[in-house]
Structures are given as C-alpha cells and as structure tokens.
Structure 1
C-alpha cells in the first residue's frame, strides 16, 4: 500500500493536473448528438478545446455560456437560457451537457434551478435532454470531473427497465482510449453479450472522417442506449473513478456491479474473461487463449529490458495504477510516483509513496531513474535528464494515433510491453551495454512473472491466479 504525500509547495511548477471541466467534457464527448457546454468564461472553454483538439487531432464540439464580469456578479441565468436556446436552434442536439467551472462555482450559480426554470419558460426545449455536472476546477482534477459527469449522466437519464440477461453496461474510465474501448467491446461481444458502453468515445473520437457535420458529436452512446442501460444484468467499471456511476446504477435500477481497478496486465484479464464466461455460459474463445499465450511470450521477451530498471511515473490515479502495476510485474521498480488527486487506487499501487504534486516533483525524483512515464508536458524534463519518455495519458499532443492506441486486454498489454522494451533498447544503444543498470539477479527475479498457468476455457472453472514478481 503506497503512502500518499501531498506536496506543500506554494505553487505548481509545470503542472501535471488537468481540470475537472476538461474531464467532464471528455465524458460528454462520448455521447452521440451531444453538445457539451462549459458554464463559465470563453477562456475556460478555449483552453480545454485546444488540449482536446491537439490530443485527438479532431474537430471538437464544445460550447460556452460566455460569462463576463457583469454576469459573473449578477448571476448566469440569462447566459444559460441563451446558450440552451441558441444551441437548440443551430445544432439541434439530442443532449445538451453542462459542466460548471471555478468562475460560476465561486459565484454559487444554482444551475439545477436555472435548468428547471428554463424548461418551464421555454417548452421548445422539451425534446432535448439536459444533463448538468458540478465540476469546479479549483478542487479535484481531470479524473474527478469525468467521474462527476458520468454519475450525472446516469442519475439524469437512466430509468428502471425489465432486465435482459445477456446485456451488460461497460463504464470505461477516462484513461481508456477509443482503441481500448473497441478492444473491450470485442472481448465482451465474443461471448455473445450485448454491450452498452457509457460513455463511448470510440464512436465519436476514433479518428474517422464523418459523412456530415452537424455541429454536435458524431457517434458515441445514443440517448436510447443510455436509457437502455436500465435493463443491463451487470455493470462493469474500469477504474475506481467509475464506482460512483456504477453505484448510482445499482441504486436506481438495482444492477449489480463489478469494478476492475485495471485491465492492463495478465491476471486481471484472466479474471475478466472468466467473469464473462460465467455471465454468458460460453467458453473462453480460442483466440483469447492464443492471445494469452502471445502475451506470455511477450513478457518473456520484454523482461530482459524491464527487469531491474527504476521508473519515475506521473499520471492520474487509475492510469498510474494500470501502467505502474504492469511495470512492477515486469520487474521494474517504481522509484518515483506522482499523481493528481486522492483516490482509492493509490492503496493498490506497488510503490512506497505517491506524491500528489506536479512534474517538478517527478523531475526531482527521477534523477537516478532509467525511464520517465507521463504525458507530453513531461518531455522537457526527460530532455533535461537525458532519459527516455513513455508518453501516456492526456494530453499527448506531440504524437499521432492516440485514438487507436490500445493498452488493455492481452493485445494491449503486449503492445505496451513492447513499447517500453523498445525504449530501453534504444537507451542501451545510446549509453552502450556496459552502462546498462540491470543485474543478472534482477533479471532472474523479474523472470518469475512468467510462471503463469493456462487460463481455463470452461465458464464453470474458477479463474487461475497468475504469479507475479
């Protein structure tokens, strides 16, 4: 269990943290025919829009209520009403999703009351679903905003329905890419299950050329699919950040839930496949038994370059756990871990301490490390330290293909292992093999991760536990 330390610096230097409204916007962008709206100044929305466009390399639908000095003092009802009516007239979205900002939260705008008043005064909005998430950017971070938005979607739009035994709801965390969601959906559908992904950025931000442009999101979870989640037999969440929404579904419609803290690694995917086999009554498909064998071989090949290395990693809590745990299982030492906000995920991280800080804390703790792991804002620190950088999380704006990157399931885990190992191979060539820090003893210790039994194909057999270093 990692001990959490909060940084006491007077200011953040090269910040790691992204804001709550940005995380909420990402969740809303996973809804089809949706218009996300930030209730705040134009600048708040502009900064978020720039980061989203640079990361996904796509046109992003995002609007603002354009608060100014006067409306910030007197209240934002008129801005909310004008925004809702203008968006309804010009883009005709099926869902308008509002998230607050620090400006309007400091003022104390009652947005729930504003929306109720607008609905009474403007019946033309009756055919438009409106969701509001409270996301002040002076507390919490990206993951917290995503969690609050996802919970707001569930509480606003999901209602009880007769249960369908072969339907499940997948709640992906904000750290999952469109490619990750595609991989998970394929795994679940391979068992004959019907899957509702909420939210589904693989439909809206997967890097496709749309046939038209409506001004709203193009693809994602439809309004009918969100409502149909009330009929699911099980809710599967990926990441601790999905727990609140899963509990809300349980409260509203009685759906049982299961939260996977991560799906990057061997044993966790064994458990997922076994759970899907039990739920569907179907055996594990042969292709996933083959992929598991391939992952074991990848771990054998990769551990020669990851065993004994010292890693400095900075990320949102659930992503930190997913990537950090895999590196630990591959024989690496998590020497420096930095995160953004408090989370139950930190208790599961195989490290001594987690600093709630910034990228300066990462740079200071990485002087004797062999690898840096964080988003693109860590590239300057990596250059100053002359260390390789594994880019993960959000934003990654100096690489292309973020929408298709996959780091979950057997195939995604294998791809991540290869990416890390190849970075270390380049480092060996740069510094010569005689300077390589891995000892034979460390390689032998790391090799114990490969002592893993075969996964059972039967849906009635218990999941096999995978040995790890």
Structure 2
C-alpha cells in the first residue's frame, strides 16, 4: 500500500493518513456475473453502465480464455449519469432481443449505475409493459457494485439470482438429479466434474457451465452465442433435485446462496464442500456423491487416487518443508493450502483480495497451529502488501494467477500459475485444479518448478535426479 498525508483543513495540525490501492488482488464484480451468464445456454450478458466497463471485462476474459466475448452494454454517457439510465437499458434490451434472439439476458449493474441509484427492477417492469402479450426472454438482474465486493461476489450473486429467477415455479419431476454449484473454476475443471458425474451415472445440473462456451472448437464462421452452457429447462427444475452440492469453504459461511435458496424454498438438501483439490477434499466430494445418490465411486477414480498417492511418495523429498506464497480467490487459496498441507509444503503467506473476513478461520482449520508456524493470512490484499510481506518470508515458490508475475519477478521466485486470470501463458482455460487428476497435475507442476529452480541455480547443473 502507498501511505500519504491529506490536509483536510489546509493546516499542518489536521492531517490524516490515507491508503491507496495500487494493484488489488481481485477483479470487479460485474466480471464474475458476466462469466456466470456465459455459462447458460443462449444467454447474453448485459452491463448496465459505461462502455468502458464492458470493454475492460471483455478484454480481460478474452485474454484468459482466448475466445470471442460478446458482452452488451447500456452505454452510459454524461447525460445518462445525471438523469438515469432507464432509457438506455430498455434500448439495450431490445437491441439484444432483436439481434441475438437470446434465451436469457443477464443484467449486471456497474459502479456508475449503482452510485446514481438506478431502479433496475422498475426499468425491467417498464420494459415488459412495452410488449403486452409478447413472449420475452427471462431477464435476470444482479446487483454488482465493485466498491462493495469482488468478482467472486458478482459470480456467486449471479448464480443465486439465476436460480431464484428461473425456479420460482419448478415443474414436477422425480428427485433423481442433483444440482452442482462448482464456483469459479476452469472449463477443464467443469469438463472433469461432468466426466465424474457421467461415469457415476448421476444426472446433474451444473451451474454455470462455460466448458464449451469459453473453450470450444474452431468456428468456420462467427457465432454470436456459442454452443454450450447450462440448459434453462434444467435450471427451472433445480428445485426438484435430490440434493445440491456447493463448493467453497468461504462460500459455506454465506447465509444466502443458490444452494441455501433451494433448501429454504423447495426443501432441496444442500451439502457444502471445499473445492475438491487434493486427496482429502476430493475424498469428501466422492463421499458426498455416494451419500446423496447411493452410487459407489467408480473404479476409474480409485485408480486415479492410487496414482496420486504414488506420485506424492515419489516427489516427497523434493517438496517437503518448502515454503510457498499462495494468493487468489479465497476459496481457491483455501483449496490449494489444504493440498499443500498434504504434501508437506508450508504456505507461509495466504492472501486474497476477498473481504469476507473468513479466510483466517479456514486456514486455522487446516493448520490449527498456523500462528506458531509463522503462517500469515491477508485478506482485502494489495500486491504491494503481499510483496512486502513475502520479502521477509523467503518463499521457494509462489502459487497464483498472472497478476502476481511482476512481484515474482522482482522477488526472483518462480510462479506456478493457477486460477484466473492467466494472461501471460496459453492454456489458462485448460488448467485442471480439481479431483485426484487435477491434484496430480498440480503436484507435478510444483515439483518440476522446484527442480528447475535448483538446476538454474546450480553452478554445473545436472541431468539426472
């Protein structure tokens, strides 16, 4: 952080300290909401605010996923900021409807529209009244002012509002399906989760599912709305599911989520798990699937678990007692730290831009003696603060997304890239974090990163372990 002095009354005797954020370890709330809407089949995200917000979010998502990204905008200008954006929003909705024929429109409000107090629900009612008797696509509104939250707040808020909007009157159905709310994971993670459910013969509604929309094949011509995504019909019947599984130790402390909404409104039991990273949390995921459905864990994944444990034995001498800095979304940090505890790496600094205040409690659940071990926990963190703390902790590696690259470069510590965003490498969308398979890949990357550093720092190098 950069500390300075501000003179409130133009006198030297009445100054106050202030802190300015230079490089926050988080992204804006509407980005998370837009990502959710990209994971619903036929949906178009619409930002109610200035064009710069949608341009920034499109550019950020494109850089990570390497896919085209249509995000509509109500295009605020000076006059709109003064007199309100109702007219702009209605025009934007009608343009989207006419040009895209969407199944759903997801409206996320930006800081500007939130600050001036635009009554978006009223605008949406007025828009519907303009077309009496005409069938309009569902419009889902989520409030996402970035000054009150991070991209994760926008993400989980959009999932909640989607479920609340589309399952108001669920059709009758048998309770054979489950709902899976995996959180903000990679397309490769989503594909792996669906593979697990398919192998176990468990029908499920995964929300959101951008495994194809944001990591698809090569097109012969441009698609305004890419194929893929969670079916609207499946979301509508999520209130009839046998159970909901919701990933996130930090999220589990929230009083209202998609899972708790369905539990309260439709008596769908909700099981809340940590992100299944590593052996312990993946075991819990498979145990939960068995408890809910009665289906035993397929032999394929028992074998994957065996390969993972064998690999941990093989590489234990390389990773044991190493020190790591971990940063990113709170739930991802918690999942990675849980895995590091299994393989003998000490996470000397666990940092996130999240502001829930729960990260320390979760880390304490993994390392009850974390204070004695010298583990520092930072939330609402800036990379200036993270780097300052890391300088005295002598880490052997850093684990996080690309926004920490310049810090890692200055500290001369290797960076293992995970999560979002990964802007300085290809394949960010194809990083697998979850399951035994994801843990095995992460372990190999961590172990090889440590080996490469030893080789690079060696005076003579070596070609055999």
Q: Tell me the TM-score range normalised by the shorter chain.
A: 0.7 to 0.9
Give the secondary structure class of the aligned counterpart of 1:203: coil
Residue matched to 2:377: 354
Alignment of 1:346-425 (within 5 A): 346-349=360-363, 350=367, 351=370, 352-356=375-379, 357-367=381-391, 368-425=394-451
Gaps of 5+ in 2: 1-16
Shift of 1:279: 2.8
Whether the 8 Å CA contact 2:179–2:205 is kept in 1: the answer is: yes
Residues 185 and 90 of structure 1, relative CA distance in 2, 3 Å threshold? same
Shift of 1:210: 4.3
Residues 345 and 366 of structure 1, relative CA distance in 2, 3 Å threshold? closer
Q: Is residue 24 of structure 2 the alignment partner of residue 15 of structure 1? A: yes
Residues 290 and 118 of structure 1, relative CA distance in 2, 3 Å threshold? same
Shift of 1:374: 1.9
User: Which of the numbers 263, 287, 308 marks the counterpart of 1:250?
Assistant: 263
Residue matched to 1:172: 182
**Distance in 1 between residues matched to 2:349 and 2:460, nearest whole Å:** 25
Residue matched to 1:154: 163
**Distance in 1 between residues matched to 2:98 and 2:346, nearest whole Å:** 56
**Higher RCO, 1 vs 2 (CA within 8 Å, ≥6 residues apart):** 1
Alignment of 1:38-49 (within 5 A): 38-49=47-58
Residue matched to 2:301: 288
Whether the 8 Å CA contact 2:418–2:431 is kept in 1: the answer is: no
Shift of 1:9: 6.5
Shift of 1:214: 4.2
Alignment of 1:1-400 (within 5 A): 10-123=19-132, 126-158=135-167, 159-174=169-184, 176-210=185-219, 213-239=222-248, 240-241=250-251, 244-343=257-356, 344-349=358-363, 350=367, 351=370, 352-356=375-379, 357-367=381-391, 368-400=394-426
Cα deviations by residue, 1:386-432 (Å, 9 ceiling, x for unpaired): 11001122110111112222111110111111111110011111223
Residues 164 and 213 of structure 1, relative CA distance in 2, 3 Å threshold? farther
Whether the 8 Å CA contact 2:48–2:110 is kept in 1: the answer is: yes
- 220-229 or 343-352, which moves further after superposition? 343-352
**Distance in 2 between residues matched to 1:228 and 1:217, nearest whole Å:** 23
Total equivalences in the alignment:
427
**Distance in 2 between residues matched to 1:131 and 1:241, nearest whole Å:** 21
Whether the 8 Å CA contact 1:171–1:238 is kept in 2: the answer is: yes
Cα deviations by residue, 1:348-389 (Å, 9 ceiling, x for unpaired): 124443212111122112221111122112111111111100
Residue matched to 1:442: none
Give the secondary structure class of the aligned counterpart of 1:98: strand
Whether the 8 Å CA contact 1:321–1:346 is kept in 2: the answer is: no
**Distance in 1 between residues matched to 2:143 and 2:226, nearest whole Å:** 21
- 371-380 or 95-104, which moves further after superposition? 371-380
Q: Is residue 438 of structure 2 the alignment partner of residue 429 of structure 1? A: no
Q: TM-score when scaled to structure 1?
A: 0.87
Q: TM-score when scaled to structure 2?
A: 0.88
Whether the 8 Å CA contact 2:173–2:237 is kept in 1: the answer is: no
Residues 434 and 330 of structure 1, relative CA distance in 2, 3 Å threshold? farther
Residue matched to 1:455: none
Whether the 8 Å CA contact 1:313–1:362 is kept in 2: the answer is: no
Gaps of 5+ in 1: 1-7, 436-469
Whether the 8 Å CA contact 1:25–1:36 is kept in 2: the answer is: yes
Whether the 8 Å CA contact 1:85–1:125 is kept in 2: the answer is: no
Residues 124 and 346 of structure 1, relative CA distance in 2, 3 Å threshold? farther
Shift of 1:258: 0.5
**Distance in 1 between residues matched to 2:273 and 2:188, nearest whole Å:** 18
**Distance in 2 between residues matched to 1:305 and 1:364, nearest whole Å:** 27
The alignment's C-alpha RMSD in Å is 2.0
Residues 172 and 282 of structure 1, relative CA distance in 2, 3 Å threshold? closer
Residues 9 and 134 of structure 1, relative CA distance in 2, 3 Å threshold? same
Whether the 8 Å CA contact 1:337–1:362 is kept in 2: the answer is: no
**Distance in 2 between residues matched to 1:364 and 1:82, nearest whole Å:** 48
